Chain A
Amino acid sequence: MNPAYSVIIFTTASGAGYGLLIGLAGAVALGLVPRDPALGFVGLGLALTLVTIGLLTSTFHLGRPERTWRAVSQWRSSWLSREGIAALVTYLPAGALGLGWVFGEIVPGQIAVAAVLSMLCALATIWCTGMIYSSLPTIRAWHQPLVAPIYLVLALATGGVLLTGLLAAFGNPARWAAAASLLALAAGWVMKSRYWSSIDAARKSYTAEAATGLGSLGTVRPLDPPHTQPNFVMREMGFQVARRHAEKLRRISNVLLFALPLAAGLLLSLDLPGFGRIALAALSVLSATAGVLIERWLFFAEAEHVVMLYYRGGAA
């Protein structure tokens, strides 16, 4: 599948934004952070900015962005529609949480309710994003039970790394944030490794013989293509990444997204001077950002679509 930059930026930015929102809201609900308006403003502001940048970027992928509002109508059948609704609804409790935290407009009990609702809505949105991909039977690498949980855990991991950095910048040692991020990063590493070995081992069950229904006559090999230049179908679904490159990129992604932030998180649980904490947390944020961008690029680039059997033959 073509790794469109708009969709890569959308899923990674909004994923980290929702992860950060979940972390902040959870911390507020459990009383782990001081009711500091500046932290609330910067933290929730950053989370909602990332989410909004992601959502706006996703509209660049559309042919008719001015009609985006129509996408909230088909929640009965479409995961994309459900995602749109969940994304819009999330702004309500997140906004209420912001009002309460930053401006003190609502009482503590209500803040806790807004925090819990923010977490649930953000979790639902990320889940819908994962389901858009994993519900498609035409793409074997996406039609996997681990796809949606990985979207969830990577959003929590990248959001947790951001939260750790934010709290370090505010001079808050917050070892709980580093510890929670460590858990999400470790879970993400395990799940992503399992995902990769599972798509490598899976049988390529769709063949050109099945696609054309001509298998009873022998193997089917493309002879004359229908057109001389790639059409939309080939441009959108014919992207191929060399296996050698994919393996290298998987290793780089593992180091940047998981290994480095894990090491940084362990160091952050030690007693470090304030400047060291901030530098380490910033390094961790940069590394995880680069790592998750590569992970998401690979998620698209490695996915083979059944339709390419008509053009390339073989199996998918």
Chain B
Amino acid sequence: MKYFFYFLFLTFFHGYSQNGVITYESIIISDNSTSEKSKKKLFFNEKASLYRDPIAVSSDKKDGETTENRSTKTIPINENTTSETIRITYTPHDPDGFQYYFDTKTNEFTCRELLFSFAKKEYKPYIYTDSYAGKIEWQLKNEFKNISGYQCQKAVADFRGRIYTAWFTTKIPLPYGPWKLNGLPGLILEVYDETGTIYLVAKKIEIPKDVDNLLKKPTKGTRIIFREFVEKDSNKSDEITKALKARLPKGGKIISTKTENTGKFELEYEWEKG
């Protein structure tokens, strides 16, 4: 009788530990920097998912992901030279990077993001809880496409100022997806926003794969309320674009008030709408 119990316990445990990794390719194209192509991993089990940069210890680093780490520059010699650009890319040297942890129990994201401090010229990690993100209202469309043999249905949602089109398949019955995009009755294989700035696609699916030791809520960083984090972030980037604009030469007409596509994922927030 005792043995039977053990056996039961084992099957039980096994049943609930179906886990795996989805490798996504993330292509972010913004107007003022290089198009960024990188690999991200989505670790999951039945209870949670974690979307983040691949962990650097493995040999993953070599297979193609490039984080732009070069700074190119053209130096203006005088007012008349038209070449004016200086591109600066600060690369965070933080091994934990950006992380998005989703807990199915609370339906909440715990996120770790880095903010650049212009004063200190370095990135600082913050951790916040995003409770709205797990509740995206997807509209299902009667449109399908085939991705590598998987029939995918189209779903559309407006999430924080961008309209996303997601292609998901019920053949892989996971409610997960890349970044903060999830909550469909099947895995999101491809998702992009209307402007084409953001493009995320699943490239590799490995189920099962033991990732339970990696699947942890991010902890290294300063705890902050989401809204405060957003304010901190937007102040910074506004400041940069304004500073650039105010530094145009006299010939450079002060006409364009078009907000530039900076490759930011989130453009507006729930509390900003009326």
Query: Are A and B physically bound partners?
Result: no
Residues of A near any B CB (own CB < 8 A): none
Residues of B in contact with A (beta carbons under 8 Å apart): none
